[in-house]
Structure 1
Amino acid sequence: MRKKIVLIDGHSILNRAFYGIPDLTNSEGIHTNAMYGFLNIMFKFLDEEKPDYLTVAFDLPVPTFRHVMYKEYKGTRKAAAPEFKQQVPLMQDLLRSMNINVVTCEGFEADDIIGTIAKTSARDGLDVVIVSGDRDLLQLCEEHIKIRIPKTKKGGTEVEDYLPENVFETYGVTPLEFIDVKALMGDTSDNIPGAPGIGEKTATKLIAQYKSMENVFEHLDELKPKQKENIGNNIEVLRQSKILVTIKTDVDLGFKLESAGLDDMFNADSYELFKRYNFKNMLSKFDKNMPQKELEVYDNFKEVTEFNEVEDIFNKVKEMVECGKQIGLAVLAEESLSGIALSLSDEEIYYIPCTGFVNENYLVARLREAIKLADGRLIVTSGLKSVLKFMDTTSLYEYSDVPENAFLDLSVGEYLLAPNNESYDYVALARTYMDINLPTRAELIGKDSLEKASQTNNENLVKYACLQSYIYLKVANNILDNLKKMDMYDLFINMEMPLIFVLYEMEKQGVRVDKQELIDYSAVLAERIEDLEASIYKTAGEEFNINSPKQLGVILFEKLGMPVKKKTKSGYSTASDVLEELAVDYPIVNDILEYRQLAKLKSTYADGLTEYIGADGRIHSNFNQTITATGRISSTNPNLQNIPIRMEMGKLFRKVFIPREGFSFIDADYSQIELRILAHMSGDEKLIESYNSDVDIHRATASHVFNTPLEEVTDLQRRNAKAVNFGIIYGISSFGLSKDLSISPKEAKQYIDQYFESYPSIKDFIDGLVENAKENGYSITMFNRRRPIPELKASNFMQKKFGERIAMNAPIQGTAADIIKIAMIRVYDELKKANLKSHLVLQVHDELLVEVANDEIEKVREIIEKGMKEAAKLKVSLEIDLNVGKNWLECH
């Protein structure tokens, strides 16, 4: 069997990771997003390919033979972002610490290094796999050299694999002919010139017909007049371009295969660097180098197999909670309860299974007895909503009777402390608070269900359960202490913990959907989409894949001759901002934009939502408390907070959401809550006076900004003032405002300057938010919620500006998120206390939707108004828009 070597294009993959992953920094302010993404990609390909050898090639920041040969090339190539450049040497050092072969060569680029090693290795009998985002490397394909190109699609990573036959199938040319295609069309990302007006489609067609660029030169008379002119006038330039795009395969590297062996990647040195860069979820790869104290308690993990032991354990649990002692709890459940783990101390860690042993109802009943005694938050767990699903014995339309004051949810507590973290599970908690690495669920039981694991891998299932309850018990007080030190204990206990029960009830209730209405609306959208397709094809003069950016680019910019606004490495950009600019002059682009919007509406909502309708006719979305850095609640599976309402056809989706029989909807939406928070937090007297005098706030702002009597403010002035009002909250720039209002940046800057002259204390307040965030490293809300802002330490101007916009907005948006949470808790508590049939069913940013029994409408209206208006005491009143309807659309 042939051995295998994987060659990674270091700069290409690092660059892809840099732009594909949001900025990350460690505690030292070092940017790490590119390194983190690179490692994820590298590990993915190592797992898939299982090579014998590995080498990573990097460019050196010195002139190469291409720079020397073509002087303009170096000067015009786009400079790398400072945050990216910072990570290149760090990535190389990290790879070397992992004993991975890193190759650079003065005067040559990574492409040439890879080309040389690839061809040499293939000749020496190895299979070669090249990993790169650069399609120039397709020219290297041969029988034993495969190119793998990772690309982002729908938020995930997909890989395109190329052998010679795949290159021909995709491009209609051989790998060697691909060089001539690249030379003819040029490469804008590397500023390599091609023939003017010759795009990829034309270049490919010419090379497919004539087999080489030189042969094209010999048959110029056979070409179209414009092609003949553009190619004929640039023959020498194109010959130079061919040299530039041709990868060298004979660089004198002194490469030795044995230096590329994979050996001891996960060692003490690399472990320290992984820790330094905060790559927590990768530390599990370092098992043998981790502190061994994690193993000390394994001998104390016990699966309970005797019924009398279960009784003894629960009797002890009751005694402990009566004495005020904490218990660590982990619930293992999927469709049904598999079992629970209880940690009473370091020596007493138990797993009680349901499958084939204890009846689920009995186990829940005994646990509930203990929970009722645990007043004082003595049951320490994580992911409490999923615990409640199996502890709650009430019917669907009743409120849970599980006592709220029994629990601590550590995932929510840790989220408050580190809202930018990816995970708050037992593995992450152990790393943060105990400096130990634990096996993940995937490492212990793989992708097996809990039921299957109990049959085939029970020992590891027990370990998985006990580890969770043990870690929860061990780290609980550390988290509570940190919350107190950071002045967020009250936020945790009085806002985030009660909110868990509110969100649990909303998930349990779900919201009813008229399935047939949804199906009918999908058909309406399909008909309109077909009409748009026909119109687009007619104008284009041919049918093509409208959803393909590549094909769309060829139609718009080559066939229809529209001005090229932006190019990417893969061709013409057809991003929304580009098309919106073109739509002013080209009706077909308007059709394309509408087509895209309606196609998304149909696939994501009309068809997508149908899949989530349960047997009860309701959609039970997940409401997430630990996802957004701002503190906002998010919705997934499906996302019901993102139902489009700005488009008329999107707004109609709300019509399919209906209450159950005998009920209506009440929709209550805070009015301008973020502007009201700005008035309160800034203390600006003019803005406060405007709100308290109950005038139209945007008209009042226009009056101040444009120095116009209130009664003489025009609709245009009001519209502009409204854009400035909301733009200020989000740190809008003069460029951004100019685009929103279709005015010049200079005029937009005048509006912003006039605004701050009219409201000087707002200017001081916003500047203060940025300065405080720079000094502290985080922003803070009225309720002490913190948001770390590492972007403020960025050396890149755009990144730093982004951080400043976060610093301006996060305290206001975060405070709004806190206020709606308080309102939700108040409304939920009052509905439950009054033993009403009505329930909260949805929360969408500043809006609450309540399914209200028809005989409870007036009572519930009072509860909602009081709960929302009195959620916070501001210097201005909190106002709501409240409406009743027979579907969600009717409420607006």
Structure 2
Amino acid sequence: MAGGNGDTPRELFLIDGNSLAYRAFFALPESIATSDGRPTNAIFGFASMLVKILTDFGQVPTVVVWDAGLSGRKEISADYKAQRSSRPDLLKLQWPHLQPLVEAFGYSNVSVEGFEADDVIAALTEQAKERGVPVMVVTGDRDAYQLVDDGVRIMSTSRGVTDTKVYDRQAVIDRYGIPPELVPDFIGLKGDTSDNIPGVPGIGDKTAADLLQKFGDLEGVLSSIDQVTGAKRKQNLIDHADNARMSKLLATMVRDVPVDIDLEVEFTKTPDRTRLRQVFRDWELRDPLRRLEEALAEAELEAIPRPTDLEKVEVKTGLARTPGDITRLKGEFLSLAILPPEVPEGELIPREPKWRFAAYAGGNIALSGEIDSPADVVAAVGDRAVIAHDAKALTEVPANLVFDTAIAAYLLDPARRGYPLEELTEERGISAEAGDALATRAVLTHELAKVQRPLILERGLQDLLDTVELPLVKVLRETEKAGIKLDTKQLETVATRIKAQVVELEREIWALADEEFMIGSPQQLGQILFEKLGLSRKRRGKTGFSTDNRVLEAIKDEHEIVEKIIRYRELSKLAQTYLDALPNWIGEDGRLHTTLEQTTAATGRLSSINPNLQNIPIRTETGREIRACFIPEPGNVLLAVDYGQVELRVLAHIADEPVLKDIFRRGEDVHTETASRVFELPPEQLDVGMRSKAKMVNYGIVYGLSAYGLADRLKIPQKEAEDFINTYLERFPAVAQFMKDSITQAVEHGYVSTLFGRRRPIPEVRASNWSVRKLGERLAANSIIQGTAADIIKIAMVRSHNALAEAGLQTRTILQIHDELLFEGPPEEMEQATEIVTREMVGAIAMDPPLEVDAGVGPNWLAAK
């Protein structure tokens, strides 16, 4: 049986499908899933192993063998494999897709009714040996080592999915101290708990190997018991001799299974590259796909025809003399790509800065050229329907933006790390050839949109895209360009005082420790707290006992040094993150221009980077001082408008909880009223601690806080926290039902949806691991509430921005922070601006109970709160 290397036959790979699938499933996190919630950890691991074989060995003939019975071993022992539980639910969902994956690789799936995969593999190995074909058996089962022979090797996956080791005859001897043919005797003596094979009590790997080395085989051992050392061992061998023989029989592979497969045909099979890539894309196996492409590119095999790659979009490029030339491009949608000026090496700024642009409309030509400003292209586009990838990065957002492929990718798969165009198109099998890289980008954007648009429609995301996300792009860009002014002198004053406090705290901490050490070093801090001072050790980390803030909060009453360390950390972080860093971000116009990221948080929330202004604390005195440093331009004031308890109102509305609705309608304090119901006391008899507990539970329900988390934050026993949560759910039964329904939706569909249709995949909720599953259950309700709140603030931002512009006011949006919008404008406009923004934010969605906002005007951000 010739292969591709002259007279040397290529190695036949025989894979134990069940062994590899189970190993992949249990080795990888159950949270691995597609963007629409389908679990993929077993598929991911299985595919990764097949890609590894392709990468390491090239295109080799491969057969994947599956269990279809127990080969009569139940008749030998009723206990054989009896301890094995049924297939986990998440694995059941993936199981039907494993064999089609194998077929896409061009490999064969084989099973023989009534027989285990091990025995079928043994029979195929014998057939191959008879024909002089070398064999590589891929399995995680130890009993397969008995097959190792001249020309037969084992690739063991027992250390992980792709962390493998290849065993030949000598490697088996080196590992177990016995040759491969004695593996059944070895298991006969020591047993195999994974298959419920009993063996002989008290005999492990080393003793079994020693006995076989001395007496030859199992029968030799049993006939020489009088020469075995140790009274207990002798007695066990006498008492369990029959078990040993039965165990050897159970471990011995059947090599005459009636399996009919044409090995000659297996050597001619090749992968269907198009189908294989599509399978990987359908299951969103991004990293395995990247490695697959590398392997396919390197697989140059004789006598195996290579199918042609995907057809590429051939693009002719033309140079545009003016942006107006893009009117020559005919097509329903115009895709745009714009890049900032390139700075020549050695120059800080280009001498004649020119932006580059490209436009494409679905024909065979993409125009590209240079412009002075992105606004030139946007103006030339006019009312043409525009598609772009990350339109906000164009710096000038087209008025008629109808599709953004980055945002579409985010809505389809909100859990990705990023949405680079090249990666997205490669995964979808989209490619293009053009003489100009920017023109190629315009083409790829156009082609990607054609793939995404039906998916957006199919998953019910069209309205969210059209009415929330796309209108927001222009608002965010204008908000970023507006920026916010910083009083650097005031900030410097705050910084000087804070740094002095840090130095003083450092001195006090060293004095209490009676030595100087690096307070920022967890190892050195742990040595001081737990070894020198003997404080309680809570959680062990990789490098010693944890010194994180949760641990410090738990032990702060044990020594006064702990409270000072907590304060030191807080002030040091504020100094590094804001006091030192913020002035470096000020632009030429004297204002900070943060980037508001639209495609980062899986819940739909906006985030802020370069600098991050969303994490400036408001509850600490120092945080409030920092906020006071954000000011308007001279002659202006700031308007801050903040939703009041928006998540709890969303919860009341979605859960249709009459008790919560009534509290909000009456304008009562929701935390006091909650405490009153949970503790069964009138509001006037509640103490501060009771209200704090109720507040923590109210928001704990929203943010998915567990009883353990509640106990940790309130410093109460976990049982008390559990009782408190259970009592809360009894008092608010509709909330309890909503949480159950959320979990049901996540389990059935793999995702949950907000009121606006935004999807959040939650594969964790289907996990067999208890802690992972509980995390998924908490995420289910949390994602619906937070995601809906995120949608609301986005809608409010667009409505407020547009309404202020329509009213002809100079007041403009300058920042969005969580549930708060910040505006800047002339004092004389504030009454009207407040009225407009309040109206638009409250009207973002009709809810019961209705939304409410708090508005304030002031000479700085703190004063406006």
Structures share a fold, TM > 0.5?
A: yes
Which residue is 1:380 aligned to?
Answer: 387
Q: d(CA) in 1 for partners of 2:724 and 2:836?
A: 41
The residue that corresponds to 2:39 in the other structure is 29
Deviation at 1:418, TM superposition (A): 1.3
Q: Partners in 2 of 1:622 and 1:634 — Cα distance?
A: 8
Tell me which residue corresponds to 1:561. 534
**Alignment partner for residue 698 of structure 1, among 634, 657, 671?**
671
Residue aligned with 2:631, SS = coil
1:776 CA displacement? 0.9
1:523, CA displacement in angstroms? Answer: 1.3
Matched, 1:486 2:459: yes
Cα distance in 2 between the residues matched to 1:580 and 1:559: 19
Identity percentage of aligned residues: 34
* Alignment partner of 1:297 is 2:294: no
AA aligned opposite 2:644? S
- Select which of 354, 359, 365 maps to 1:348: 365
Q: For each residue in 1:249-289, what CA deviation from the matched residue of structure 2 results, as whole angstroms up to 9, or x when unmatched?
A: xxxxxxxxxxxxxxxxx997997997587342674562683
| 1:627 has 2:600 as partner | yes
State the one-letter code of the partner of 1:278: E
Structure 2 residue 711 is matched with structure 1 residue 738: yes
- The equivalent of 2:694 in structure 1 is 721
TM-score w.r.t. length of structure 2:
0.66
List aligned pairs for 1:580-599, cutoff 5 A: 580-599=553-572
Give, as a single letter, the amino acid of the residue that structure 2 aligns with 1:314: I
Q: Is the Cα–Cα contact under 8 Å of residues 794 and 800 in structure 1 kept in the other structure?
A: yes
Name the CA shift for 1:814/1:337 in 2 (closer, same or farther; >3 Å): farther
Matched, 1:339 2:385: no
Residue ranges of structure 1 left out of the alignment (5+ in a row): 1-14, 47-80, 114-265, 393-401, 440-458
Note if 1:756 corresponds to 2:729: yes
Return the alpha-carbon distance in structure 1 between the equivalents of residues 563 and 279 of structure 2: 51
- Which is richer in helix? 1
- One-letter identity of the residue aligned with 2:861: W
RMSD, aligned CA = 3.9
Write the deviation string for residues 378-421 of structure 1: whole angstroms up to 9, x where unpaired: 2111111122x2x47xxxxxxxxx52x34421211221111112
Q: Any stretches of 5+ residues in structure 2 without a counterpart? A: 1-22, 56-87, 95-137, 141-153, 176-270, 298-306, 343-352
Structure of greater relative contact order (alpha carbons < 8 Å, 6+ residues apart):
2
Distance in 1, Cα, partners of 2:466 & 2:139: 45
Match in the other structure for 1:831: 804
Q: Which amino acid aligns with 1:350?
A: L
Name which of 427, 430, 455 aligns with 2:425.
430
Aligned partner of 2:336 in structure 1 is 329
Inter-partner Cα distance in structure 2 for 1:466 and 1:604: 40
CA contact (8 A) 1:625 1:634 kept: yes
Contact 1:381 1:472 in 2 (8 A): yes
Change over 3 Å in CA distance of 1:828–1:553 after alignment to 2: same
Q: What residue is the counterpart of 2:580 in the other structure?
A: 607
Q: 1:316 to 1:568 in 2, by over 3 A?
A: same
Q: Deviations over 1:630-688 (max 9, x none)?
A: 01011111111111223221221101100111111111111111111111111111111
1:87-131 Cα distance to aligned partner (Å, 9 max, x none)? x989x99999xx99942789x99xx99xxxxxxxxxxxxxxxxxx
1:845 Cα deviation after fit: 0.8
TM-superposed deviation, 1:850: 0.7
C-alpha contact 1:427 1:438 (8 A) present in aligned 2: no
Q: Name the counterpart of 2:266.
A: none
Alpha carbons 2:856, 2:864 under 8 Å: kept: yes
Shift of 1:791: 1.1
In structure 1, which of residues 278, 284, 288 is the aligned counterpart of residue 284 of structure 2?
Answer: 278
Contact 2:431 2:444 in 1 (8 A): no
Q: Which has the larger radius of gyration?
A: 2
- Report the Cα distance in structure 2 between the residues aligned to 1:576 and 1:23, rounded to whole angstroms: 27
Q: How many Å separate the matches in 1 of 2:588 and 2:550?
A: 42
Aligned CA distance change for structure 1 residues 677 and 334 (closer, same or farther; 3 Å): farther
Change (3 A) 1:95 1:839: farther
- Distance in 2 between the 1:566 and 1:701 partners? 33
TM-score by length of 1: 0.64
Structure 1 contact 94–273 (Cα < 8 Å) conserved: no
1:192-591 alignment to 2 at 5 Å?
A: 278-280=284-286, 283=289, 286=293, 289=296, 296-298=312-314, 300-304=315-319, 307=321, 313-317=325-329, 320=330, 325-333=332-340, 337-352=354-369, 354=370, 359-360=371-372, 364-365=375-376, 367-374=377-384, 378-387=385-394, 389=395, 391=396, 402-403=398-399, 405-433=400-428, 435-436=429-430, 463-591=436-564
Q: Deviations over 1:459-510 (max 9, x none)?
A: 9xx5431222112212323322222222211111011111111101110000
Secondary structure at 2:382 match in 1: helix
> Does structure 2 conserve the Cα–Cα contact (< 8 Å) formed by 1:284 and 1:437?
no
| Map of 2:792 onto structure 1 | 819
Amino acid at match of 2:286: K
Q: Aligned in 2, Cα 1:496/1:689: closer, same or farther, shift over 3 Å?
A: same
User: Aligned partner of 1:302: which letter?
Assistant: T
Q: Is the 8 A contact 2:388 2:404 kept in 1?
A: yes
- Relative to 1, partners in 2 of residues 1:484 and 1:463: Cα closer, same or farther, differing over 3 Å? same
Matched residue of 2:786: which SS? helix
SS of residue matched to 2:614: helix
Query: Equivalents in 1 of 2:862, 2:29: separation in Å?
Result: 37
Aligned counterpart, 1:789: 762
Alignment correspondent of 1:129: none
Whole-Å separation in 1 of the counterparts to 2:841 and 2:555: 44
The CA deviation at 1:570 is 2.1
The residue aligned with 1:867 is 840
1: CA distance, partners of 2:43 / 2:415: 13
Ranges of 4+ aligned residues in structure 1 off by more than 6 Å: 18-22, 32-36, 81-84, 92-96, 266-274
1:664 is aligned to 2:637:
yes
CA distance in 1, matches of 2:139, 2:808: 64
Bigger shift: 26-35 or 331-340? Answer: 26-35
Rate the CA distance shift 1:89–1:415 in 2: closer, same or farther, 3 A. farther
Q: Which residue of 2 aligns with 1:199?
A: none
Q: Which letter maps to 1:415? A: Y
2: distance between equivalents of 1:810 and 1:771? 14
Aligned mates of 1:528, 1:859 — CA distance in 2: 43
Please say which of residues 787-796 and 621-630 is displaced more in the overlay. 787-796
Please say if residues 564 and 572 of structure 1, whose CA atoms lie closer than 8 Å, have aligned partners that are also in contact: yes
The alpha carbon displacement at 1:739 in A equals: 2.2
Structure 2 CA distance for partners of 1:82 and 1:603, relative to 1, 3 Å: farther
Cα deviation, residue 303, structure 1: 4.8
Distance verdict in 2 for CA 1:347–1:612, change over 3 Å: same
In structure 1, C-alpha distance between the alignment counterparts of 2:622 and 2:139, rounded to whole Å:
51
Q: In 2, are the aligned partners of 1:552 and 1:574 still within 8 Å (CA)?
A: yes
Write the distance in 1 (CA, Å) between the matches of 2:467 and 2:155: 47
**Matching residue's letter, 1:702:** A
**Aligned to 2:826, which of 853, 859, 865?**
853
CA distance in 2, matches of 1:21, 1:890: 48
CA 1:384–1:734: 2 relative to 1, 3 Å: same
C-alpha spacing 1:35/1:580, structure 2 compared with 1 (3 Å): farther
Mapped to 1, the partners of 2:402 and 2:360 lie a distance apart of: 15
Which amino acid in the other structure matches residue 610 of structure 1? Answer: P
The aligned length equals 626
Q: Cα gap change, 1:385/1:794 in structure 2, threshold over 3 Å: closer, same or farther?
A: same
Change (3 A) 1:786 1:274: closer
Deviation at 1:757, TM superposition (A): 1.6
